[in-house]
Chain A
Amino acid sequence: MESLPFFNQLLQFIVTGLTIGAIYAMVAIGFNIIYNVTEIINLAQGEFVMLGGLVMVTVHVMWGVPLPLAFGLTVLGVTLVGVLLDRLAIRPIRKPSVMTLIIATVAASIIIKGVAMLIWGKSPYDLPAFSGRTPIDLGGVIIQPQYLWVVGFLVVVAIGLTWFFNRTIYGKAMSACADNPDAARLVGINVRHMVLLSFALSAAIGAVAGLTLTPIALMDYDRGAMLAIKGFGAAILGGLGSFPGAILGGLVLGLIEALSAGLLSSGYKDAYALIILLAVLFIRPSGILGNLEVTRFKRF
């Protein structure tokens, strides 16, 4: 690294930052899907990512299921966890408030984490990269093929969701719940189903983030909390509830982290990202793309 010219080094950090940022963006999208329908911040979102990685390890590496099928099974399995989360932790709460809902998702997240430790133990797992590990050399900047998969999946998720929310009846119904749950109920939308669907959907996206991240950064039971915080941070940075904001917020957060780790100090990389986040919260709580007037009139 020392011999690299500074500019190349910088580019390298940017490439890494955008990749990890794409992961944060996917986590942030997961937050937003649930938030938009329910106004719940699901702090267990990071556990979906962790599970995505570890379930994939079991299915693909240990059971030897071929990649595409393992991918499908993993996403399905984690989606099921998302459904269970809604049914067992969220729906039973009788007097929901921001505080009780946050506490419930925190509780769920440490349960999932503990169970994951029971199943997989504490050591980190690797996953074969989807298309090998031969790096692509772009004029001195090294790009792992897996980086492209990560960014590619973010694009697929973004396009898929745009289509889902604008073109399908379920997507439109979910948007309606977000705007006005009472009115949605009046026109015959089953709000409970939509809430369930939102948990399922964001669990699935979390799983995708996790299983594409694992070949780059390994995965262990304890990663969920930090991923959740970064994803939540990305969502807030971009403006809670906004999907373009989530992508922008994720990428910005990833860049801050990679650049500060590379140029300043790696020990403080998480701190830098969080300090920027706090600054944004204090100066412009509505985020980069958020709308303050809307935020003010949200119920919570």
Chain B
Amino acid sequence: MLRIHKAPMLAGALLILFFPWIARQLPTISHYPDLMVFAGIYTLITLGLSLLMGYAGQISLGHAAFFGIGAYVSGVLSTQFDCNPWLGMLLGAAVAAMVAVIVGAPSLKLRGHYLAMATLAFGIIVNIVFREEARWTGGPDGMIGIPGLSLFGLALDSAEKYYYLVWGIVAAVFLFSVNLIQSPAGRALRAIHASEAAAAAMGIPIARYKVIVFAYSAVLGSLAGSLYAHYMNFINPATFDLFFSIKLVIMIALGGMHSIWGALVGAIIVAFLSLEWLHYFEEFEVVVYGAILLLVTIFMPEGLVGAPAKLMARMRR
């Protein structure tokens, strides 16, 4: 049975809650809350992507596009239209959902290779739009001056405050996803992954489920993008390119695609890799990422989260 236990969730929640305090006690990791803001933002995206890829079995090589849509809608609305950032965030999510339905409805009829191609192409097209529509987006140089967020009059102007905002949202989305997975809707998604023919024969409307989960993952990507834009106060197209889409795949593959925990673990590890641990490699970090992705695919297809269970099963045998 696909149970998601409460104990680790509680432990995780406590760790998240006290982490900034712990980081303050240890000077070497005092900047970690800042990194954890990015880790949380990535986690939001991977929570959706793992439902889409790991549970429903639909590949996406273009999810950076939704991350970018959120960031740019937030950025453009708040800098050029003086729009309230929270409203901008909602509008961004609405745009992402709309785009996801328009692109997803025909794409998700495609299988395997064709879906990979369609999402790849979609991601690149969106990135080109970010680069070319300079009047709105600032072109390849990006846009500056995106305001920060404030909540009930409290400006979220430090890494620590933003950390609690981001991880609060992550916790809510995590719970939502956990409930979803253990529900008939979650089983329907896994059924689609295992056998579309059988799922349809059981009366599951495949097309609708695929589009819904695609749109859900797009909305999460977009929320993450808005949070990113308001935290960085600056965005440029390179953040939302093909390589970021691939990085997202690395996150869920490394953590373990078939588990919601994998999305969390993978996103945190890759955030720390790219922002802290791989600095030594500079631009050659792509080799490291490629090696990680390849090794995980070959030797740990269940990802880090799935590996211990697999190891135990093997030892018991």
- On whether A and B touch (CB less than 8 Å), the answer reads yes
Which residues of A pack against B, CB within 8 Å? 35, 41, 43, 89, 92-95, 98-100, 102-104, 106-115, 117-118, 122, 225, 229, 232-233, 236, 240, 265, 267-268, 270-271, 274-275, 277-278, 281-282, 285, 300
Q: Are B253 and A103 in contact (CB under 8 A)?
A: yes
Contact with A along B268-283 (1 / 0, CB 8 A): 0000000000000001
Q: A102-B116, A233-B117 are in contact. List 17 more A-B contacts (CB 8 A).
A: A94-B298, A100-B301, A102-B59, A102-B113, A104-B293, A110-B243, A110-B246, A112-B290, A114-B288, A240-B113, A267-B128, A267-B131, A268-B128, A270-B124, A271-B125, A282-B106, A300-B112
Distance between Cα atoms of A240 and B109 in the complex (Å): 17
Chain A residues near B125: list those with CB within 8 A.
271, 274-275, 278
Chain A residues near B243: list those with CB within 8 A.
110
Distance between Cα atoms of A172 and B174 in the complex (Å): 53
Given A229-B121, A270-B128, A278-B118: A106 in contact with B59 (beta carbons within 8 A): no
Chain B residues near A275: list those with CB within 8 A.
121, 125
Distance between Cα atoms of A43 and B298 in the complex (Å): 17
Chain B residues near A98: list those with CB within 8 A.
59, 111-113, 116
Q: Are B124 and A104 in contact (CB under 8 A)?
A: no
Within B268-317, the residues touching A (CB, 8 Å) are 283-291, 293-294, 297-298, 301
Which residues of B pack against A, CB within 8 Å? 53, 57, 59, 61, 106-107, 109-114, 116-118, 120-122, 124-125, 128-129, 131-132, 242-243, 246, 249, 253, 283-291, 293-294, 297-298, 301
CB closest chain-B residue, reference A44: B290
Q: Are A104 and B290 in contact (CB under 8 A)?
A: no
CB distance from B99 to the nearest CB of A (A): 13
> Can you list 16 A-B pairs, Cβ within 8 angstroms, ordered by A?
A93-B298, A94-B298, A100-B297, A102-B113, A102-B116, A103-B249, A103-B253, A110-B243, A110-B287, A118-B287, A268-B132, A271-B125, A271-B129, A274-B124, A275-B125, A281-B114
Chain A residues near B297: list those with CB within 8 A.
93, 100, 103-104, 107
Chain B residues near A268: list those with CB within 8 A.
128, 132
Shortest Cβ-Cβ A-B pairs, 6 listed? A114-B287, A111-B290, A107-B293, A98-B112, A110-B290, A107-B294
Q: Are B117 and A232 in contact (CB under 8 A)?
A: yes
Q: Are A236 and B114 in contact (CB under 8 A)?
A: yes
Distance between Cα atoms of A278 and B111 in the complex (Å): 14
Task: Choose among B132, B249, B297, B301 the residue with the greatest number of A CB atoms under 10 Å from its CB.
Answer: B297
Chain A residues near B291: list those with CB within 8 A.
107, 111
CB distance from B304 to the nearest CB of A (A): 16
Chain A residues near B57: list those with CB within 8 A.
99
Q: Are B301 and A94 in contact (CB under 8 A)?
A: yes
CB closest chain-A residue, reference B289: A110
Chain A residues near B124: list those with CB within 8 A.
229, 270-271, 274
Interface of A is mostly: helix
From A100, A106, A114, A271, B246 is in contact (CB under 8 Å) with A106
Distance between Cα atoms of A115 and B287 in the complex (Å): 7
Distance between Cα atoms of A95 and B301 in the complex (Å): 8
CB distance from A94 to the nearest CB of B (A): 7
Q: Are B110 and A281 in contact (CB under 8 A)?
A: yes
Distance between Cα atoms of A300 and B113 in the complex (Å): 8
CB distance from B140 to the nearest CB of A (A): 10
Chain B residues near A93: list those with CB within 8 A.
297-298, 301
CB distance from A100 to the nearest CB of B (A): 6
Chain B residues near A109: list those with CB within 8 A.
290
Given A102-B59, A117-B286, A278-B118: A108 in contact with B294 (beta carbons within 8 A): yes
Given A268-B132, A281-B114: A229 in contact with B120 (beta carbons within 8 A): yes
Given A106-B61, A281-B118: A117 in contact with B294 (beta carbons within 8 A): no
Distance between Cα atoms of A103 and B57 in the complex (Å): 13
Chain B residues near A99: list those with CB within 8 A.
53, 57, 59, 112
Distance between Cα atoms of A153 and B301 in the complex (Å): 41
Distance between Cα atoms of A271 and B131 in the complex (Å): 11
Distance between Cα atoms of A93 and B301 in the complex (Å): 9
Chain A residues near B293: list those with CB within 8 A.
103-104, 106-107, 110
Distance between Cα atoms of A115 and B286 in the complex (Å): 9
Q: Are A104 and B242 in contact (CB under 8 A)?
A: no
Task: Choose among A112, A265, A285 the residue with the greatest number of B CB atoms under 10 Å from its CB.
Answer: A285
Chain B residues near A282: list those with CB within 8 A.
106-107, 118
Chain B residues near A110: list those with CB within 8 A.
243, 246, 286-287, 289-290, 293
Chain B residues near A285: list those with CB within 8 A.
109-110, 114
Given A114-B287, A236-B114, A274-B121: A92 in contact with B59 (beta carbons within 8 A): no
Distance between Cα atoms of A98 and B58 in the complex (Å): 10
Distance between Cα atoms of A300 and B59 in the complex (Å): 13
